[in-house]
Amino acid sequence: MTDKAAEEKRLARVWARPRGWGYFSDVNNSVVGLWYIAAAFAFMLFGGALALIIRLQLAVPDNGLVSAETYNQLFTLHGTVMMFLFAVPIFEAVAILILPAMLGARDLPFPRLSAFGFWCFLIGGVFVCGSIFFNAAPDAGWFMYPPLSTEQSGIGADIWLLGLSFIEVASIAAAVELIVGVLKCRAPGMHINLTPPYGWYVLVVGAMILFAFPPLIAGDFLFELERAFDWPFFDVTRGGDPLLWQHLFWIFGHPEVYIIFLPAIALLAMIIPTFAQRPIAGYSWIVLSAIGTGFLSFGLWVHHMFTTGLPSISLGFFSAASEAVAIPTGIQLFVFIATVMLGNVVRTVPMLFCLGALATFIVGGLTGVMIAVAPFDFQVHDTYFIVAHLHYTLIGGMLFPVMAGVRYYYPFATGKLLSRKLGIWSFWLSFIGFNVAFLPMHLTGLLGMPRRVFTYGAERGWDTLNMISTIGAFVLAAGFLLFVWDCVRPKRGQAYAPRNVWNAGTLEWVGKVPADDYGLRSIPQINSRYPLWDDKDLLATIDEGRGLLAHAREGRRETLVTSVLDAEPVQVLRVGTPTWLPMLAAIGLGGTFIFPVWKLWWLTLGSGLFFLAVLLYWLWTGTGEIPEKQSKDIGDGRRVPLYVAGPRSTGWWAMFITMTGDLTAFLAVLFGYFFFWTIHTDFPPVGVDGPGWQWPLMAGGLTLATWTVTLGARFANAAGQVVLSRILLGAGLLGAAASGLALMAGPWTTGLDPTSHAYPAIVWGLVVWVVLHLMAGIIMQAYCLARSVFNRLTPTHDADLWNVTLYWHFTGFCALLTALVIGGFPLLQ
Amino acid sequence: MSAKRAHNEVERETGHGTDLWRVIAAPIIWAGHFLFCYVYAAIYCEKAGRSASLDHPTTVVIVATLVALAGIGWSTHHIWRVRARSLTDHDFEYEHNTPEERHRFLSHVALMLCVLSAVAVLYVTIPMLYLGTCQ
C-alpha cells in the first residue's frame, strides 16, 4: 500500500462516525448539522400545523372550532416555535453543516460544544412544544408581555421563560463556535478579504446574537424571579413597570429579526453567484451592508413600542433609525440584482426560490418602511397589516432563501439531487399560496381586524378576505409538504450527483460524492475568492494529499487554526471525538431549567450538580490537553505548534466571546436599576435605607483583591513560580467567597425585602446575578488549582489559567460595578 | 492603525494594516451617539414632565451630533489615503492574496461604513429639530 493510500485509510479511521447507537454520540459537524437541520424542520412543521388550525378558525365568522383559550395557546406557540425553534436554529444548523467545508477546515473548533447546543435545543424544543398537549402551553403571545403573563394562572409562562432560556444556551453556544470558526479556522491564505460572503454573515450574526440574546436572558431572569418568588419587577402597584420587560424583550426581539434574515441572505450570496456563473458583484459592498445592518438593527427596538405612550422624541429617534436600516438592506438587494444582471443565469430550482425570495422580501421591506413612520404605525398597530408585513419579511427574507439553500446544498449533504419537477411544483404552490394567504391581510388589517382575536362577527366584512387567506395558507402548506417529501423520500435507487454538481466556485464543493467523513483529503492554500473557478490544480492538489494536514499520523482528529486577518497557520488543534458527554450535560442542564417550572427545587439542584459533574469531567478529560510533542509537521515543510495559550488559542476566543455576551446580560439587568430610577421621583423610595455603602464598599474591595490575585496567579505560574501561583489561586477562592458574602450582607443586614418593592428587588437581583458568577469563578479557580496540582497545568501549558483570568476580568468588573451602583448611587440621590 | 507590524506583513503601498476594529469604529460611534441621544432625551422627558420644552435637549443633541460627526470624520480621514490609492488603480474587487489587498479591502469597507454611519447619525438628529416638547 502506498503512503498516500495509508494516509487516507488512517484519516478515514480517525474520522469514522460511530455505528449503531453510538451514532448519537457523534460530534462531527457534518452529522450534528444534519440532526440540527432535521430537528429545526420538524419543529417548523409543528409550528406550521398550529398555523393551519389558526387559519381554519379564522376562515369563517363566529367560528367555534377552537376555544379562545386554546386559540391563545396556538398563536403563542406558533410564534414561539417559528422564531426560537426554527428561524434562529436553522441558521446555526446550516452554518454548522457547511461552514467548515466552506472555510477549508475539517471541523469547527469545538465539535462537542456544537453537539451540546444541539441536544439543548432538542430537549428544550420538545419541552416547549409538548406543553400544548397538556393544555399548558404559554398563551400570552410570543412576546409574553406582563402583566398578562404574570397574573394569569398556569405554568405556560414558566414553560416559555425557562424553556426558551435553555434554548438560548444552544444559540449562544453555536454563536461562540461559529465566530471562532470564521475567525480562526479558515484555510491558509484565505485572507479576510477572500472569505466567502457566507463567512462574513456568520460573523456578523454571531456577534449580533451575543448582544441581542443576553438582554432576553436577563429579562427572563427577572421575569422568573417575579413569577417564582414574587419579586415585583413588572408590578406597577409595587414600583415595577411592565415596560421594562418590553424594552428588554425588544432589545432582543428586533435584532432577532435580522439574526434570522442575514444568514438567509447569506445563502443567497452563495447561491446567486453560482447560478450567475460569476463572482458576486460588489463583494465589499455586501460586507459593508452586512456589518451596517448588524449595527443599525439594534437601533430599532422601540419601533415595536410606538403605541406605549413614550415621548414623541423617543419615537422620532427610533423612526429615523428604522428608516436608516433600509439603506444597507437595499444595498444587499441591489448587489444580488447586479450579480444576476451581469451573469449568465442558469435556470435551476434553487435560483427560482432565490428570485421568489427577493420579490417577496421587497414587498415586506417596503411595508416595513411604511410602518417605521410612527403615525402610520399608530393606525395599523396590532392589526393584520403587521401580520402581513412580518410574514412577508420572514418568509421572503428567511423561509424561501432557506428552501433555496436546502435544495442547493442537498447534494453537498447527501450526495443526491432533489427532483426538479417536484421542486418547481413546490415552489409555485408555496409562492402562490403564500401570496394568496398574506397579501389580503394587508387589506384585512387596514379594515381594522386586530391580531390575536380568536373570532369576529359577520357584520365586520372581514369574512371573504379571511377565507381567501385560509385557502392560500393550505396551498402554501401543500407546497411545503411537497418540498419536505422531496427531501425525505427514499433515494437508495437514485444515482449520486456528480462532484460539484452546480459548477460552483467555493471550497465546500471540492468534496467527493459521497462525502468522506474527514471532509477534505488535505487542506489547500487558497489564493482567490472562488478557488474552484480560478485554480485548475486545486482538486488534484487536495485529492492527492499535496495540501496541508494530509494525514492523521498520531491517530487524532485535527484541524488547522490560522491567524485572524491573513490566515497564516498558527496551530494544529486537536478537536473533540465522539462522546456521550454533551448529551448528558444537556440533560443535566435541561433538568435545571425544566424542574423549576413545577418548583421542584431538590430535583433542580440535583440536575444542576449532575450538569456540573459532567461538565467538569468533560473539561478535565477533553480540553487543555498537554500534547506529546510541541509542534508537528503539517506538510509543505511547515511546522506549527500543537498547544497555544492566551489570545492565540481558540479557547481564549471562545471565553472572550462568551463573556461579551454575559457582560451584555449583566448590563441589561443593570439597565433595570436605572430604568426604575428614571420612572420614580424618589429612588430609593422614602424609608428604605439599604443596602448602605459600607458592605458594598467592602465587597468591591474584596472583588478587586480577588481579581488581582487571580491575575497574579497567572503571572506567577508563567514565571515558573508554581507554588506561589497555587497559593494565589487558593487566596482567590477565599476572596471570591468573601466578596460574595459581603455583597449579600448589604441588603441582608439592612432588611431589604425583595418582595416589597421594585427597588429592593432590583438590588437583590443584581446581587444574585453577581453571586452566581462568583460561584462559577470559584469553581474555575478550584479547577485550575487541581489542574496545577495534577500537572495538567504547567508554566508552559497554561491555557486554562489564561481563560479563567479572562473570566475574572469580566466578573471582577461586574462585581465592582454592582458594588458601586447599589452602594454608591443612592448616596447621589 | 498600529505602527507595529506583524512578522509576516509586507511593506505597504498605502500605509500600515487596517484591522477589524477600524472597520467598526464608525458604526460604534453611531451606536454611542444614538444611545446617548435616546437615553438623554428619555431621562430628560421622564424627569421634566411631558409639557417640558425640548430647547435644552436640542442643543445637547446637536452638540453630540457634531462630536459624533467629528469622530466619524477623523476615522474617515485616516482611511482616505487608502481610498485614493484604490481609485487610482480602478480595482474595487480586492481579490488578491496579499496583506496589502486585505488592508485596502478593509479600508474600503470602513470608508463606506463611515458614510453610512454619518447618514444614520444625521437621520437620528432630524426629529430633534422638528419637535418642541416632550409630548
Picking from A241, A313, A331 by the largest number of B CB atoms within 10 A of its own CB, the best residue to mutate is: A313
Mean pLDDT across chain A: 94
Amino acid present at A472: G
What is the Cα–Cα distance from A576 to A623, expressed in whole angstroms? Answer: 8
Q: How would residue B13 be classed by pLDDT, with cut points 50, 70 and 90?
A: low
Amino acid present at A725: S
Average pLDDT in the A642-651 region?
A: 92
Residue B3 has a pLDDT of: 42
Average pLDDT in the A596-608 region?
A: 95
What is the Cα–Cα distance from A261 to A268, expressed in whole angstroms? Answer: 11
Q: Is the pLDDT of residue A449 over 90?
A: yes
Three-state secondary structure call for residue A667: helix
Whether A285 sits inside 8 A of B124 (CB atoms) is: no
Q: pLDDT (tens digit, 9 = 90+) per residue, A655-683? A: 999 999 999 999 999 999 999 999 998 88
Q: What percent of chain A has pLDDT over 70?
A: 100
Residue B1 has a pLDDT of: 35
Q: Is the pLDDT of residue B4 over 90?
A: no
Q: pLDDT (tens digit, 9 = 90+) per residue, A526-558? A: 999 999 999 989 999 999 989 999 988 899 999
Three-state secondary structure call for residue A720: coil
Number of domains in chain B: 1
Of A32-46, A504-518, B23-37, the least confident: A504-518
What is the Cα–Cα distance from A280 to A270, expressed in whole angstroms? Answer: 8
> If 0-12 CB within 10 Å is exposed, 13-18 middle and 19+ buried, where does residue A294 land?
buried
Q: Is the pLDDT of residue A814 over 90?
A: yes
Domain range summary for chain A, segments of one domain joined by +: 656-828
Residue A640: strand pairing partners:
A632
Provide the CATH topology of domain A656-828.
Answer: Four Helix Bundle (Hemerythrin (Met), subunit A) (1.20.120)
A246 touches chain B (CB under 8 A): no
What is the Cα–Cα distance from A415 to A409, expressed in whole angstroms? Answer: 9
Q: Whose CA is closest to A819, among A752, A747, A760, A759?
A: A747
Residue B2 has a pLDDT of: 40
Average pLDDT in the A214-233 region?
A: 93
In which domain, by residue range, is B83 found? 3-130
Phi, psi dihedrals of residue A633, rounded to the nearest 5°: -80, 125
Beta strand A631-635 with A638-641 is antiparallel
Whether A288 sits inside 8 A of B127 (CB atoms) is: no
Task: Give the chain A residue nearest B121 (alpha carbons).
Answer: A321
Q: How would residue A766 be classed by pLDDT, with cut points 50, 70 and 90?
A: very high
Amino acid present at A73: Q
Q: How would residue A280 be classed by pLDDT, with cut points 50, 70 and 90?
A: very high
Query: Do A38 and A44 meet the contact criterion of CB atoms below 8 Å apart?
Result: no
Q: Is the pLDDT of residue B8 over 60?
A: no
Whether B134 sits inside 8 A of A566 (CB atoms) is: no
Query: Do A404 and A350 meet the contact criterion of CB atoms below 8 Å apart?
Result: yes
Q: pLDDT (tens digit, 9 = 90+) per residue, A369-425? A: 999 999 999 999 999 999 999 999 999 999 999 999 999 999 999 999 999 999 999
Q: How would residue A687 be classed by pLDDT, with cut points 50, 70 and 90?
A: confident
Beta strand A569-574 with A631-635 is unpaired
Q: Cell numbers at residue A430, please?
A: 408555496
What is the Cα–Cα distance from A455 to A685, expressed in whole angstroms? Answer: 45
ω into A696 cis (within 30 of 0): no
Whether B24 sits inside 8 A of A295 (CB atoms) is: yes
Within-domain flag for B91: yes
Amino acid present at A112: R
> If 0-12 CB within 10 Å is exposed, 13-18 middle and 19+ buried, where does residue A635 land?
middle
Within-domain flag for B135: no
Q: What percent of chain A has pLDDT over 90?
A: 88
Task: Give the chain A residue nearest B94 (alpha carbons).
Answer: A193
Average pLDDT in the A435-441 region?
A: 97
Q: Is the pLDDT of residue A448 over 70?
A: yes
Task: Give the chain A residue nearest B97 (alpha carbons).
Answer: A527
* pTM metric for this prediction: 0.94
Average pLDDT in the B30-48 region?
A: 94
Whether B109 sits inside 8 A of A291 (CB atoms) is: yes
Average pLDDT in the B18-39 region?
A: 92
Amino acid present at A175: A
Task: Give the chain A residue nearest B27 (alpha carbons).
Answer: A295
Residue B82 has a pLDDT of: 73
Residue B100 has a pLDDT of: 81
Q: Is the pLDDT of residue A454 over 90?
A: yes
**Residues from chain A contacting residue B99 (CB–CB below 8 Å):** 191, 565-566
Residue B98 has a pLDDT of: 82
**Residues from chain A contacting residue B117 (CB–CB below 8 Å):** 292, 295
Residue B11 has a pLDDT of: 56
Per the listing, cell 410606538 goes with A306
Query: Do A475 and A432 meet the contact criterion of CB atoms below 8 Å apart?
Result: yes
Q: Which residues of A669-707 are buried (b: 16+ CB within 10 A; e: fewer)?
A: bbbbbebbbebbeebbeeebebbbbebbbbbbbbbbbbb
Three-state secondary structure call for residue A574: strand
Of A792-801, B73-82, B88-97, the least confident: B88-97
DSSP for residue A548? B
Of A142-156, A564-578, B77-91, the least confident: B77-91
Residue A828 has a pLDDT of: 87
Question: To 10 degrees, the CA torsion angle through A605, A611, A613, A615?
Answer: -150
Residue B19 has a pLDDT of: 77
Residue B101 has a pLDDT of: 83
Q: Phi/psi zone of residue A154: left (φ > 0), alpha (ψ -120 to 50 degrees), beta?
A: left
Residue A582 has a pLDDT of: 96
What is the Cα–Cα distance from A764 to A766, expressed in whole angstroms? Answer: 5
Query: For chain A, how many helices (H) and strands (E)?
Result: 28, 4
Give the residue ranges of DSSP H helices in B1-135.
20-48, 55-88, 99-130
Q: Is the pLDDT of residue A647 over 60?
A: yes
B88 touches chain A (CB under 8 A): no
Q: Which of residues 42-81 of B touch A (CB under 8 A)?
A: 42-43, 45-47, 50, 54, 57
Task: Give the chain A residue nearest B120 (alpha carbons).
Answer: A324
Residue B16 has a pLDDT of: 67
